[in-house]
Every structure is written in C-alpha cells, then in structure tokens.
Amino acid sequence: MQSRFRFVSRRQGGILRGGELMRAPYGLEIIESCLCCPHREDRLFCNLPPPAVRKLAAITSAAVYPKGATLFVEGQPPRGVFVLCSGRVKLSTSSADGRSLILRISEAGEVLGLPATVTGKPYELTADVIEPTQANFISRENFLHFLSEHGEAALRVAQQLGETYHSAIAEMRTIGLSHSAAEKLARFLLDLSADHDEAKGEVRLTLSLTHEEIAQMIGASRETVTRLFADFKKKQLLRVKGSSLTITNKAGLERVVGS
C-alpha cells in the first residue's frame, strides 16, 4: 500500500513523498495512521470508538513540517484542521503596525484551526512550527462530515474548544492583571514549570522560545525580557545555559508574582 506520508520542505515550498519509517526526517517517530497511533488513549480527540478512528484515518493526510514552517495564516479562509501528533506550534496574532502577540504554544494532541473550520470564518491566528512537527491535515469538508456522523468526536471538539477558551482567558489575565513585567515573566516561568517535577528544590526544563518570543507572550519588549532574566539570575532565582533553564528558587518566583 502506498504511504500517504508527506514531508513539507519550507525552503522549496513543495512536498516530497517518502514512505519508510526509518527514513523519516528530523528523527521523528512518524504516525502514518490514527489506527496505529501509540498515544490514542492519552489524547482527547484521538481517543474515539473504533469506527470513528477508522473513518478519521481514512480522511487524514500525514505530514511533517520543519521548524519555521507555517500551517495557516491569520485571515486566511479555513482549509481544514491540523491534528498535532508531535512537536509544538505557536499561535499568534499581529496588529497592523507589525506587533505580534503569542497567545499560546500548542502541544501534541491538539487540533489546530478548529474555530475557523467549524464556523467557516477566517483563521483567527497564525500557526508557526517552532520545532520539527508532525501535523496531520483534514480538509474542512471531510472534517465537518465526520463530525456530523460521529457525535462522540463532536463532543471532543467542543471539549477542546472549551479548553482553548479557558487557556485564552488565563493568558489575558496574566497580561492584563499583572502589575509589572517582572510579575508577568515570573508567572510565565511558573506556568511553564507546572508539569515538571521538582528535584532537590530545583525544576529543570527546556526553553525553546527566544527572548523575542517570550516578550510576545507576556506583552513586553525583548530588551525588558533580557534584562529581567539577568536580574532573576543575579537574585539566584534561576540558571540558564543555552536552552536549558533551571528554576533554583521557585518560592522566590512565587513571591515576585504575589508582590
């Protein structure tokens, strides 16, 4: 059977077709079908009854995108949704004068482009890949027909839309109600570390975002973020080495948030 896996080249803007799992780009574990996905039980949208999963597999096209690729652009008519199998994607919006605000970073298991695909309105955000990513595409026509046939899938879509809404509210609260840029950055770092275990009083995590991207997430300038990182290091709240960040004084960051 011919593989439907696609490798999207950002430089050439075209598609190269491959087939063998061992030759997958970027060292990703390619999931060519929803039927054989090892993460089905853990993911909200993918954990569906067998008939729905078989239908989902039939209408899904697997593709891998390099860092820097764009899945869809704010204002673009909705072509469909992207099921994020692995990797991460930043969702952002821009003003007419070129300023950008990153709303959130999507993780594996999410379905991107849902609001626009369901309502028929243009994509409200731009989705940019920030690390090698597998994002499987389902056209709008196929997706809406799939939801009309499978009520359980429609319920899962409603659940994810609800979670996205709550995430957006939390982001607005961080930006709008924080009293200072230091409080915004401290809150951002604490949220980032929420899913990481603390060992010997320290929390270690990988920071793949640049200072510019962090600034776009908390509504500050890049210079302010760089200055605050230096200040936090001086106060021994954290250590940074390359993309590795260690929070050495979580209580200290919590005091910054509560000050």
What residue spans define the domains of the chain? 6-176, 178-258
Lowest mean pLDDT among 51-65, 71-85, 172-186: 172-186
Cβ contact 94:100 at 8 Å: yes
Q: What is the pLDDT of residue 234?
A: 94
Rg of the chain (C-alpha set): 20
Q: What is the pLDDT of residue 160?
A: 83
Strands (E), 107-172: 111-112, 126-129, 133-139
Q: What is the pLDDT of residue 256?
A: 92
Cβ contact 174:101 at 8 Å: no
Q: What is the pLDDT of residue 30?
A: 58
CATH number of 178-258: 1.10.10.10
pLDDT digits (tens, 9 = 90+) for 91-142: 998 877 777 888 888 888 889 999 999 999 999 999 999 888 999 999 999 9
What DSSP character marks residue 219?
T
The residues facing 106 across adjacent strands are 89
Identify the three-state secondary structure at position 142.
helix
- pLDDT score of 24 more than 80: no
- pLDDT score of 49 more than 90: no
6-176 maps to CATH 3.30.420.40: no
- For the packed helices 211-218 and 181-192, what is the interaxial angle rounded to 10 degrees? 110
pLDDT digits (tens, 9 = 90+) for 151-205: 988 988 888 888 888 877 777 776 676 778 999 999 889 888 887 788 878 899 8
Q: Which of 74, 55, 58, 66 is nearest to 112 (CA)?
A: 74
More confidently predicted of 3 and 200: 200
Cβ contact 127:82 at 8 Å: yes
**Residue 85 banded pLDDT, cuts 50, 70, 90:** confident
